[in-house]
Structure 1
């Protein structure tokens, strides 16, 4: 989905660490109460070893310039031209949507932090590199994004690309924050592997939450201008998001990496399941319909 040109972005909601290199830290997930979820959240939770030979160094998105500071992201028109501004605008939209939505259920929304990085960075869950892809760290309630991943999503994983494919990635990681707020995120750690595992149910629920945001994103207004953040959704937009969800399905990535599918090792669910749950959130707009933990079948 494209942004309305006159919407005013708030770059203060995104910290830019690009160019700073990776600091020193403990092993990801080591000794941190919820930190092992970072391993499950890496590239939406896929084990980086499974992706050996598939992940590249990340290249610039054609038609988009990757600037050096989100402070340059001021308007919706910037979000349509620059990838870092699109991430910033999506973060702004999510941070406007979720507080009001959760308030209906008497749940307070503590705003998460968002960090852009390249190569690697320190996190509350330990040192992380670009190879883990986008992830959410519950220890510091921060979503981390290396913009180079979004080109990998197209080149290495076969997503069709497009704005909503990228916005879906951001919304998925914010979905993990919602799970952290609601007390569901640790279920992945308790049952980390298998086709019906807690890890798979956590990831599919985050997909559903991303779809839920998508339903309302075109009416959620920028508090400064009163304009909706995003323009009306097109079928192509929806297809792009579904393509991204399919591209990071466990079965598809396992097949590409090893030539076979092993459901016992799943941490996120199949391509079809990821599409189904994203679409369920989008179609219903109801967080109660995203309860993957009570679902008899996924």
Structure 2
């Protein structure tokens, strides 16, 4: 990805922390637990250790002051973490125009563990969205795991895909899709409601990619074919079948929570090929065959 050195960055969207009370939600209960639980299951983490009460490390891991220095596109070369400000600004600018009544939210980075409206989350869950406090939580160490453990090629576009996917969950929270999935009892498997939720978030990430350079005021100046290839590669790397094969040497489709590598690639591609959120209806009867 190429950045406009003169573009302004808005670091106020980073490291904002929670809004209001933060009740610890029981596993399996409340919309706030959905996304965290499925990520924990995907990465082979004991869900009972993912959301819990107790002390936490400092949210943002001391990085919030560094983000405050990210005010122009040229700062990305000086401090690579500033790219997350550029991603966040661009994603929210797009959805602010595309989604009626879109509400801007914060991205909070953390190390070790963090207290959220969904309870206390450890870094093992990777990046996640908590609907209870409408915040995306980002453990930047996940991106090393994405390449070293999950085998993705990596790169800025791969990281932007992960973040855009989490913002897709925020859109689902606003549209009511997340609440409907919770009410359905979720379940697992290639055509389950939980998988459909994740694939729609992938598609929404692709939609943003197709519009990432539309706003001349944003810092993202170019998204190349190689960037799109890296995003698709990252989507495949976090497919349930790929992770299960690496972790346990076999694939069990009935336990899928996010979708296969092929499913995730297909819906991400659909998003950036159409550029239309309306084409991301993974809940349609024949959407998953």
Question: TM above 0.5, one fold?
Answer: yes
Offset from partner CA, 1:154-193 (integer Å, 9 cap, x none): 1111110111101011100000000000000134432231
Cα separation, 1, equivalents of 2:180 and 2:277: 18
1:98 to 83, 95, 98: 95
Structure 1 regions of 5+ residues with no counterpart? 18-24, 52-65, 223-227
Structure 1 residues 80 and 37: CA distance shift in structure 2, 3 A: farther
| Structure 2 residue 182 is matched with structure 1 residue 177 | no
Shift of 1:78: 2.3
- Show the counterpart of 2:199: 204
Does the CA contact (< 8 Å) of 2:195 and 2:257 recur in 1? yes
Structure 1 residues 80 and 170: CA distance shift in structure 2, 3 A: farther
In structure 2, the residue corresponding to 1:231 is in which secondary structure? strand
| Structure 2 residue 82 is matched with structure 1 residue 85 | yes
Q: How many residues align?
A: 267
Shift of 1:246: 0.5
Structure 1 residues 187 and 80: CA distance shift in structure 2, 3 A: farther
Structure 1 residues 116 and 170: CA distance shift in structure 2, 3 A: same
| Structure 2 residue 66 is matched with structure 1 residue 69 | yes
Offset from partner CA, 1:258-277 (integer Å, 9 cap, x none): 00000010000000110100
Cα separation, 1, equivalents of 2:106 and 2:36: 19
- Show the counterpart of 1:128: 121
2:272 to 273, 282, 290: 282
Cα separation, 2, equivalents of 1:136 and 1:130: 13
- Show the counterpart of 1:232: 222
| Structure 2 residue 241 is matched with structure 1 residue 248 | no
CA RMSD of aligned residues (A): 2.2
Does the CA contact (< 8 Å) of 2:24 and 2:117 recur in 1? no
- Show the counterpart of 2:136: 143
4+ residue stretches of structure 1 with deviation over 3 A? Answer: 25-32, 80-83
Moved more, 87-96 or 260-269: 87-96
Cα separation, 1, equivalents of 2:77 and 2:227: 14
Shift of 1:27: 5.8
| Structure 2 residue 189 is matched with structure 1 residue 194 | yes
Cα separation, 2, equivalents of 1:215 and 1:230: 12
Shift of 1:68: 5.5
Structure 2 regions of 5+ residues with no counterpart? 48-62
Structure 1 residues 192 and 35: CA distance shift in structure 2, 3 A: farther
Cα separation, 1, equivalents of 2:126 and 2:181: 18
Shift of 1:32: 5.3
Cα separation, 1, equivalents of 2:25 and 2:66: 27
In structure 1, the residue corresponding to 2:136 is in which secondary structure? strand
- Show the counterpart of 1:22: none
Cα separation, 1, equivalents of 2:235 and 2:118: 25
In structure 1, the residue corresponding to 2:129 is in which secondary structure? strand
In structure 1, the residue corresponding to 2:137 is in which secondary structure? strand
